[in-house]
Amino acid sequence: MTTLWIIFIFLHVVSLLFAIFALWRLYEYIKRYRFDESKYTMLFGFVHLHWIAAAYLVYAVIWTVASTILFITLNQ
């Protein structure tokens, strides 16, 4: 395994861990300071906070997979 692969894998692991940590902290904050669901967890009145969190996690995973496939394709 080359040094470039090790750096690439390390950056993706750190990125996914950061996404998980950020979402974990967000939900701990929400749990500690109970928000009124109708007022504070909706963005623009119709987007739920859970949708934003799920989209962020899905985006991080998709970006990791897509960039890995691209990296493998370009290094062949």
User: What are the pLDDT digits (tens) for 34-58?
Assistant: 766 666 655 666 667 788 889 999 9
CA angle 59, 16, 54 (to 5 degrees): 40
Strand 47-48 and strand 42-43: the pairing is antiparallel
> Which pLDDT belongs to residue 36?
64
pTM of the model: 0.70
Who contacts 66 (Cβ-Cβ below 8 Å, separation ≥6)? none
Mean pLDDT of 24-36: 81
C-alpha neighbours within 13 Å on the C-beta side of residue 35: 15
Which pLDDT band, with edges at 50, 70 and 90, does 29 fall under?
A: confident
> Which pLDDT belongs to residue 40?
60
Which pLDDT band, with edges at 50, 70 and 90, does 24 fall under?
A: very high
State the Cα–Cα distance between residues 64 and 76, nearest whole angstrom.
19
Give the helix/strand (H/E) hosting 43.
strand 42-43
